[in-house]
Amino acid sequence: MTAALAIRDLKKTYRNGHVALKGITLEVVEGDFFALLGPNGAGKSTTIGIVASLVNKSAGEVTIFGHDIETDLAAAKSCLGLVPQEFNFNQFEPVGEIVANQAGYYGIERREAFARAENYLRRLGLWEKRRGMARELSGGMKRRLMIARALVHEPRLLILDEPTAGVDIEIRRSMWDFLREINASGTTIILTTHYLEEAESLCRNIAIIDEGELIENTSTRRLLNTLHMETFILDIADPLEKLPELPGHSVRLVDECTIEADICRGEVVNDLFSQLSAQGIHIVSMRNKTNRLEQLFVRLLEGNGIEAC
């Protein structure tokens, strides 16, 4: 199967000497929902910029569905849709025209371009705003406008650079559903996000970049399986001043009504609850302290590897 995106030994050094990418090799298979994660300044946006030919690479190869961006750029571009991190549309242009014009740049006739624009604007809840200027849209609407614009030429590969940044949870969830639908219809999706819950929920494969280098590239499931310990928060019924000794368990009193417990993979938790009951401590609720992927992400970036129990 042809890779939707293949990156080989990609390097980028900016004119000021800053080395943004130190030789990244990465492959995204067709049909995948792929997360590209990393802290701010890790090199994610530079990678995406090079793939979209908005940034000149210093070395390396990039192919999109087998089309090299150096030798077969037009064909490579035809396969790609991009939703960038920053708003990059004309704020003084009507919403409908922004989407239809984008189709026009791909050689799609005016009538067909407007029909497609209507389809995507309706699906993303922007049809009523089509005649209004883009600057009048809310932040969430602007993000959805960029998604409609990126899809109007029906690309085989869609790259979204933090598409849900600053979007409220309800709209974020509806955008997730929309992206799942697009992916199910055959579009390969690459997503960067700071909401790791989003990556865990949507993506089948994950790559993590840090300081211009790829530090992890695996399936979401396999990555989560490497997590040996999770921290849970236990809310207790009656306030405590001091936590009693609980042999064999790593627990802390966070405040008078909250206990934190580290629980290893495969550990039977009945003993912990038995000991707590024996001490007259009753648990009223329990939840995971952090998103699992977030824990892994932080550990990987700190270079701590995976913690063993």
Partner 1 sequence: MTPHQKLTALRTIVTKEILRFARIWIQTVLPPMITTALYFIIFGNLIGSQIGDMDGFRYMEFIIPGLIMMSVITNSYANVVSSFYGSKFQRHIEEMLISPVPNYIILIGFVAGGVTRGLIVGIAVTLVSLIFSPLSIFNLWVMLSMIVLTAILFALAGFINGAYARNFDDISIIPTFVLTPLTYLGGIFYSISMLPEFWQKASLANPILYMINAFRYGFLGITDISLLASYSISIGFILILYTFSIHLLRKGQGIKT
Which string of b and e fits 193-223 if b means at least 16 CB within 10 Å? Answer: bebbebbbebbebbbbbbebebebbeebeeb
**Cβ at position 174, least distance to partner 1 in Å:** 25
Residue 163: CB minimum distance to partner 1, A: 16
Scan residues 6-45 and list those touching partner 1 (CB under 8 A). Answer: 14-15
Closest by CA to 74, choosing from 98, 49, 107, is 107
Minimum CB–partner distance for residue 108 and partner 1 (Å)? 7
CB atoms closer than 10 angstroms to residue 227: 15
**Of 181, 168, 163, 201, residue with least CA distance to 82:** 163
Structure token digits, residue 167: 């979007």
Question: Which residue in the set 5, 42, 43, 101 belongs to the binding site for partner 1 (CB under 8 A)?
Answer: 101
Report the distance separating Cα 11 and Cα 27, nearest Å: 16
Rounded Cα–Cα distance for residues 5 and 23 (Å):
16
Letters for 150-169 (x = contact with partner 1 by CB under 8 A, - = none) are: ---x----------------
Q: Return the SS3 of 10.
A: strand
Nearest to 77 by CA among 60, 65, 59, 61: 65
8 Å CB contact between 168 and 176: no
Span near partner 1 by CB under 8 A; candidates 76-84, 200-208, 237-245, 246-254? 76-84
Choices 100-108, 197-205, 245-253, 274-282 (CB under 8 A): range interacting with partner 1: 100-108
- Minimum CB distance to partner 1, residue 46 (Å): 9
Task: Say if residues 135 and 91 touch (Cβ distance below 8 Å).
Answer: yes
Q: Which is nearer to partner 1, 71 or 90 (CB)?
A: 90
**Shortest Cβ distance from residue 53 to partner 1 (Å)?**
7
CB 33 within 8 A of CB 202: yes
- Region near partner 1 per CB under 8 A, out of 91-99, 160-168, 225-233, 273-281: 91-99
Candidates 79-87, 161-169, 271-279, 293-301 — which segment interacts with partner 1 by CB under 8 A? 79-87
Question: For the chain, how big is the Rg over CA atoms in Å?
Answer: 23
H/E stretch holding 235? strand 229-236
Find the binder of partner 1 among 2, 9, 41, 105 (CB under 8 A). 105
Q: Could you tell me how many residues of this chain bind partner 1 (CB under 8 A)?
A: 37
In this chain, which of 38, 49, 140, 163 binds partner 1, going by CB under 8 A? 49
Choices 89-97, 118-126, 217-225, 291-299; region in contact with partner 1 by CB under 8 A: 89-97
Beta carbons within 10 angstroms of residue 20's beta carbon: 22
Q: How many CB atoms lie within 10 A of CB 297?
A: 23
With respect to partner 1, which residue has the nearer C-beta, 46 or 183? 46
Summarize as ranges the residues that interact with partner 1 (CB under 8 A).
14-15, 49, 52-56, 73-75, 77-78, 80, 82, 84, 86, 88-93, 97-98, 101-102, 104-110, 113, 149, 153
